[in-house]
Structure 1
Amino acid sequence: MNKTFFLLCILLVATTLIKAQSKFQEYFIDSTDHAIDVSGFLNAGYGFLPVPIVITEPAVGFGGGLAGIYFHGNQKERVVEEGENNFENSKNLPPVLTAVAGMYTENGTWVTMLAHQGSYLNDRLRYTGALGYMNINLTFYGAGLISEDKYAFNMKGFLTFQEFLFRPVAKLPFFTGLNYVYFNNNITFDTQIPEVEPLQDETNLGGMNIVAMWDTRNNTFTPFKGIMTATEFGIFAKALGGDNDYWNFSHRTYFYQPIVKEKLFSGYRVKFDSKWGDNVPFYELPFVSLRGIPALRYQEHNALTLETEWRWQVFKRWSAVGFVGAGFVAPKINAFDFGDPKVAGGGGFRYLIASDYGLHAGIDVAKGPEIWAWYLTIGSNWFR
């Protein structure tokens, strides 16, 4: 009896291990090249994928967190019709996903968030939405408003972002729509003087933008061909839930071009942001956004960022990346000093982690005017 029971236990354990191994092979191993690949799990569409978050942004320090990402079903093939006005975008629709996340960094910053991104009606409609609460510790460097010095501050509150884009003509990759942002923000400045209480204020932000976007990227995660260009123009106002009235203009263009077929790929980024009015909050001022430069380090009412990134496919799923960029800030559009760029650049590597989604992941190391920094990169560094 005991021997029979023991053999049954061994059989049960062996069966469980075989099933587990089978599931692991199905979800995390690509049957074509037997490499690690999470496409099978993402396509399973029955649960949240736990994704560790590694934060390396110099402005908030090192940190981490966890995100649960749910991919809503398998990728669906795009319906492509022949015609001179047609475009080559992707064999797949942009993924529909929902994510919940929480993160914490060494300087006490923490964020919780619920987000959803979706492409519907054969990509005629795109939606991006997020709800979150954040407690962020940052440094303000004056931005030409006060003396150039370091001022530590905390901002916390509820944030929501909602964007709806519609493609009027099915055969054209042109989208237009609106986005809305609201932030109930409590600001606290550390006076760094023991006898003086921290300076506190509450500033609500409420803004709406008209959006126009042209998107022929072959992939929304790690593109290597096509162009995405988007322009936003809008207003932040009391009527929209904010405390201040000011204007916003933003333009970004990301252009991707293969240089050597299946080997060398290039990317180019141009980003310009402008905010003007009588009461633009200091933390809303545009800033230079480059790897190697902390967020908010170089701020003004106008900011221009230029960057190029090149990727060399070294071996199978592995590739090497190099990048360099320059940023400029100015109080007015006609006051840019192009003789004084803020330059940052570096390199890294990528691994094709999800072939069905064209998703690459890796690590970058960058050097800016003042610091070295490293970044865990999943997908493209160029988003908004």
Structure 2
Amino acid sequence: MKGSYLLFLLVLLAPWSGLCQTVEKVDSVARKKGKVIAAPILGYSPESRFFGGFMGMWILPKKGVDTSSFKRPSTLAPIFIYTANKQVISSLRSEQYFKNATYLSNTLRVRNYPDFFFGIGNDTHPDDLEMFLDQFGQLNGRWMKIRDEKYFFGLSYDFRYDKLSDFKDGAVLETGEVSGTKGGWTNGLGPIFIFDTRDNVLYPSKGWYVTSNLHYFSKVVGSNYSFAQLNIDSRYFREVISPKHVLGLQLVINSVAGNNIPFYRLPQLGGNDRLRGIKNENLYRDKVSWYFQVEGRRTLFWRLGGVLFAGVGNVSPGIVSAFQTPVKAVVGAGGRFRPIKDQKLNLRLDFGVATDGFYAVYLNVAEAF
């Protein structure tokens, strides 16, 4: 098993190495003429198993924009992925920066997604799963005003339509006992705030990153469901002992409030970047989720590195009970490879173990947080 993952990691390196080299060389060209970049995608997660596809990026030419330090190239980035579980994932992301210190970010997603439902709460079990088909389209984004290169204020929005089908006969979803089985629109918008002092977005070694946004889902904006959603993500990074050792801390709190919230909009635990080691990212979901994780990152030699990580978290129907019930915990380790020496973009292979005895393996690009 270990040999197969090592072989797969080596296969993954070649296309991304070429992509990073291309990105490194095109910046001066992109300022005048723009540039198109493309590369294959390969990876693994417990939810999808192996997956493959392609990604692209169109770096738009700069025309008369200001040159202050927060200014970045505007981009368009399409992605298409097909998984071993016959899940189709496609998206188009745009980042547009303007002269008046504002930017607009949009992501359009379309998915044909066989998914998993284990129930609601923190005592669900991996064996109690129901599969269903979720076909959905989603547009989310934010318009932000940039102040002092650290503070960002603006409006965040999320518009999504779901069509659910192929429920298991006689199971919970098929009976309609859970809110959301009829699908429909969940549309929301609200304020967003970001504070960012990281020295590098892809591999920070010092600084803070704090973001908070509040969405109101309402019939006023065409939503079939009415509820509120609060997301808080706080991260801190610092060098320890030497520049080769980096400590990262993250605390995330997600909460929804309302009486008719579709189950697929409830906060969750687990996955590629949230408490790696939980058997499935859909295993635990409820009105409140929180998790705290710590990661020690170490540059080893050449372009190789390693990490040790641990985390705790929980889901519950309310804020108070979220911190009273027994928490979930994970520990794990991972390897890192940097395709280009001067580009702080790592390929990662992580192995995590949860307190319930289950484990999970993840193969992906960039750090978990």
Scaled by the length of structure 2, the TM-score of the pair is: 0.81
Contact 1:209 1:232 in 2 (8 A): yes
From the superposition, tell whether residues 160 and 233 of structure 1 become closer, same or farther in structure 2 (CA, over 3 Å).
Answer: same
Q: AA paired with 1:371? A: F
Identity %: 22
Deviation of 1:266 (Å)? 0.8
Q: CA RMSD in A?
A: 3.1
Whole-Å separation in 1 of the counterparts to 2:135 and 2:304 = 40
The equivalences for 1:13-92 within 5 A come to: 37-43=21-27, 44-45=29-30, 46-72=34-60, 79=68
Aligned with 2:300: secondary structure?
A: strand
Q: AA paired with 1:157? A: F
State the partner residue of 1:348. 334
Deviation of 1:192 (Å)? 4.2
From the superposition, tell whether residues 314 and 228 of structure 1 become closer, same or farther in structure 2 (CA, over 3 Å).
Answer: same
Whole-Å separation in 1 of the counterparts to 2:242 and 2:96 = 31
User: Can you give the 5+ residue segments of structure 2 that lack an aligned partner in the other structure?
Assistant: 1-16
Give deviations 1:182-240, integer Å, cap 9, x for gaps: 1111012522469x989762321101121011011111222121111011112111111
Matching of residue 138 in structure 1 with residue 122 in structure 2:
no
- Which structure has the bigger radius of gyration? 1
From the superposition, tell whether residues 53 and 345 of structure 1 become closer, same or farther in structure 2 (CA, over 3 Å).
Answer: farther
Contact 2:191 2:215 in 1 (8 A): yes
State the partner residue of 2:359. 372
Aligned with 1:54: secondary structure?
A: strand
The equivalences for 1:252-291 within 5 A come to: 252-288=233-269, 289-291=274-276
Deviation of 1:342 (Å)? 1.2
Scaled by the length of structure 1, the TM-score of the pair is: 0.78
Give deviations 1:147-200, integer Å, cap 9, x for gaps: 873222221122111211112x3x351111011111111012522469x98976
**Match among 131, 139, 142 for residue 160 of structure 1:** 139
Matching of residue 249 in structure 1 with residue 250 in structure 2:
no
**Match among 146, 152, 155 for residue 178 of structure 1:** 155
Contact 1:155 1:188 in 2 (8 A): yes
Deviation of 1:244 (Å)? 0.5
Whole-Å separation in 2 of the counterparts to 1:183 and 1:72 = 28
User: Can you give the 5+ residue segments of structure 1 that lack an aligned partner in the other structure?
Assistant: 1-26, 30-35, 81-91
Give deviations 1:55-102, integer Å, cap 9, x for gaps: 42322332211111233469x99757xxxxxxxxxxx75554321111
Deviation of 1:295 (Å)? 1.4
Contact 1:206 1:242 in 2 (8 A): yes
Matching of residue 292 in structure 1 with residue 277 in structure 2:
yes
Contact 1:28 1:41 in 2 (8 A): no
Whole-Å separation in 2 of the counterparts to 1:78 and 1:263 = 32
State the partner residue of 1:107. 85
Aligned with 1:359: secondary structure?
A: coil
Whole-Å separation in 2 of the counterparts to 1:62 and 1:350 = 19
State the partner residue of 2:7. none
Whole-Å separation in 2 of the counterparts to 1:126 and 1:292 = 36
Whole-Å separation in 2 of the counterparts to 1:353 and 1:327 = 33
From the superposition, tell whether residues 339 and 77 of structure 1 become closer, same or farther in structure 2 (CA, over 3 Å).
Answer: farther
**Match among 237, 240, 244 for residue 218 of structure 2:** 237
Aligned with 1:295: secondary structure?
A: coil
Aligned with 1:309: secondary structure?
A: strand
Query: How many residues end up aligned between the 2 structures?
Result: 334
Contact 2:45 2:363 in 1 (8 A): no
Deviation of 1:370 (Å)? 4.7
From the superposition, tell whether residues 309 and 42 of structure 1 become closer, same or farther in structure 2 (CA, over 3 Å).
Answer: farther
Deviation of 1:271 (Å)? 0.3
Contact 1:273 1:302 in 2 (8 A): yes
Whole-Å separation in 2 of the counterparts to 1:211 and 1:144 = 28
Whole-Å separation in 1 of the counterparts to 2:222 and 2:137 = 13
Whole-Å separation in 2 of the counterparts to 1:277 and 1:284 = 12
Contact 2:192 2:211 in 1 (8 A): yes
Aligned with 1:283: secondary structure?
A: helix
Contact 1:237 1:243 in 2 (8 A): yes
Structure of higher RCO (CA pairs closer than 8 Å, 6+ residues apart) = 2
From the superposition, tell whether residues 192 and 57 of structure 1 become closer, same or farther in structure 2 (CA, over 3 Å).
Answer: farther
**Match among 148, 151, 154 for residue 130 of structure 2:** 151
